[in-house]
């Protein structure tokens, strides 16, 4: 109850999300992670782009910035460079992050700037009517792929790692406590952190692909997830169709905003 009063803008409720949407679960995990990490509320900023999940910024009682489609990381980069002491969480959907904002995503990773990207992956553009995104699995239907998409989906965390991100984790709305822990670990990591949060969209994705309602989708999500530690002991055939969960990589490397400010300080004596 205290968390709700302190961290939610209750006057903005009820939220706009459909019944059974996973966005509320992911948002709650983020709030609990911030509380668990013990940050001063005034030192936390939530930045978001455009899409169903990005509406979370409006409901959260922190410094918030609801930006343009695909540009959340660009806004967050400017803020982090001006105020490096702030802790920033950047909420994006899969299309927002990996299509429209794809360039910002790879370059944020390349710089290893200390931002925490929370990518809510529901495999579809929910808000704009169910178009397929670069994270829609091959063969799944969307308004723009009525017979199933022919494109291969990005592995978002492989993409992030390849571009230079130094922390990557995957959780899901069916295992909210684990998701909370992953976000806490991402926040404590110094550098560009990506948490991919798989989240059910029963309306724009589940219904079209006959995945059942929210309960069935959450159940399916849980059953197809395998912890990275367990996966290491499984053979390839058993891992077919499974999704790895947990911290996939955590690397020490110089962080951009602190390196930049150190250099400026040195140049100005």
Q: Does 92 bind ligand SF4 (CB under 6 A)?
A: no
Listed ranges 15-23, 82-90, 178-186, 190-198: which one lies at the site for ligand SF4 (CB under 6 A): 15-23
Instruction: Among 21, 44, 76, 244, indicate the residue that binds ligand SF4 (CB under 6 A).
Output: 21
Q: Does 23 bind ligand SF4 (CB under 6 A)?
A: yes
Which H or E run contains 88? strand 87-93
**Rounded Cα distance, 28 and 3, in Å:** 9
- Residue (17 or 256) nearer to ligand SF4, CB: 17
Q: Does 201 bind ligand SF4 (CB under 6 A)?
A: yes
Tell me which residue has tokens 């300080």: 265
Listed ranges 59-67, 108-116, 201-209, 239-247: which one lies at the site for ligand SF4 (CB under 6 A): 201-209
Q: Does 122 bind ligand SF4 (CB under 6 A)?
A: yes
Minimum CB separation from ligand SF4 for residue 196, in Å? 15
Listed ranges 13-21, 28-36, 223-231, 255-263: which one lies at the site for ligand SF4 (CB under 6 A): 13-21
Q: Confirm if 49 and 96 have CB atoms less than 8 A apart.
A: yes
Burial class (CB in 10 A: 0-12, 13-18, 19+), 260: middle
Give the DSSP per-residue string, 246-262. EEEEE-----HHHHHHH
Give the per-residue contact string, 224-263, with ligand SF4 (x = CB under 6 A; - = no): ----------------------------------------
Tell me the site size for ligand SF4, rule CB under 6 A: 12
Within residues 24-63, the interface with ligand SF4 by CB under 6 A covers 52
- Residue (21 or 160) nearer to ligand SF4, CB: 21
Query: Quick check: helix, strand or coil at residue 226?
Result: strand
**Rounded Cα distance, 202 and 264, in Å:** 50
Minimum CB separation from ligand SF4 for residue 20, in Å? 6
DSSP label at residue 125: B
Q: Does 202 bind ligand SF4 (CB under 6 A)?
A: yes
Of 10, 62, 52, the residue nearest 31 (C-alpha): 62
Q: Does 173 bind ligand SF4 (CB under 6 A)?
A: no
Helical pair 72-82 and 102-111, crossing angle rounded to 10 deg: 30
Name every residue whose Cβ is closer than 8 Å to that of residue 185 and which is 6 or more positions away in sequence.
Answer: 167, 169, 247, 250
Q: Confirm if 186 and 224 have CB atoms less than 8 A apart.
A: no
Q: Which residues bind ligand SF4 (CB under 6 A)?
A: 17-18, 21, 23, 52, 122, 126-127, 201-204
């Amino acid at each position: 109850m205290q968390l709700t009063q302190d961290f939610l803008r209750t006057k903005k409720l009820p939220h706009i999300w459909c019944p059974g949407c996973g966005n509320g679960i992911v948002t709650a995990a983020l709030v609990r992670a911030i509380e668990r990490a013990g940050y001063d509320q005034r030192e936390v900023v939530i930045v978001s782009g455009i899409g169903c999940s990005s509406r979370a910024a409006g409901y959260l009682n922190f410094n918030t910035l609801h930006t343009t489609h695909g540009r959340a990381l660009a806004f967050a980069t400017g803020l982090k460079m001006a105020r490096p002491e702030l802790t920033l969480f950047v909420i994006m959907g899969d299309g927002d992050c990996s299509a429209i904002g794809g360039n910002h995503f790879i370059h944020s990773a390349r710089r290893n700037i200390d931002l925490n990207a929370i990518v809510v992956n529901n495999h579809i553009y929910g808000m704009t009517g169910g178009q397929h995104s670069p994270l829609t699995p091959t063969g799944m239907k969307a308004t723009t792929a009525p017979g199933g998409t022919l494109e291969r989906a990005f592995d978002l965390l492989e993409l992030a790692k390849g571009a230079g991100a130094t922390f990557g984790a995957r959780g899901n709305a069916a295992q909210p406590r684990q998701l909370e822990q992953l976000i806490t670990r991402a926040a404590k990591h110094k550098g560009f952190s990506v948490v991919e949060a798989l989240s059910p969209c029963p309306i724009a994705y589940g219904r079209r692909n006959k995945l059942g309602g929210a309960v069935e989708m959450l159940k399916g999500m849980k059953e197809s997830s395998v912890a990275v530690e367990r996966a290491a002991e499984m053979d390839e055939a058993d891992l077919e169709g499974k999704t790895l969960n947990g911290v996939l990589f955590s690397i020490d490397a110089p962080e951009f905003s602190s390196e930049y400010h150190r250099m400026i300080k040195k140049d100005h004596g």
